[in-house]
């Protein structure tokens, strides 16, 4: 991926990342539901789910932002 994305491309990429994170969250939730125990494995699933939820919370503002040029540029 190139480093000089436009604002629109950055928002698009954040939306794609959010989709992947939500899919991973769904998979982990189903794995936790199937585990139903206090084993180390379910603890690991819970930790991964916490990280994915935190990443979703961090990326949401970028995903919901609008595309506009900075003031002062023509």
Residue 72 lies in a domain: no
- Residue-number span of the structural domain to which 27 is assigned: 7-62
Residue 32 lies in a domain: yes
Residue 33 lies in a domain: yes
Residue 67 lies in a domain: no
Residue 71 lies in a domain: no
Residue 51 lies in a domain: yes
DSSP per residue over 1-63, as a string?
--S---HHHHHHHHHHHHHHHHHHHHHHHHHHHHH-S-SHHHHHHHHHHHHHHHHHHHHHHHH
Encode pLDDT of 34-74 as tens digits: 766 667 777 888 888 888 888 888 888 877 777 666 666 54
The structural domain count of the chain equals: 1
Give the pTM. Answer: 0.66
Separation CA 66–CA 52 (nearest Å): 24
Q: What angle do CA 71, 11, 6 make, to 5 degrees?
A: 55
Residue 1 lies in a domain: no
């Amino acid at each position: 991926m190139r480093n000089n994305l436009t604002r629109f491309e950055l928002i698009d990429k954040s939306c794609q990342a959010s989709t992947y994170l939500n899919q991973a969250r769904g998979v982990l939730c189903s794995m936790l539901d199937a585990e139903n125990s206090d084993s180390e494995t379910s603890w690991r699933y819970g930790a991964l789910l916490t990280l994915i939820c935190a990443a979703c919370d961090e990326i949401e503002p970028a995903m919901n932002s609008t595309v506009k040029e900075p003031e002062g540029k023509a």
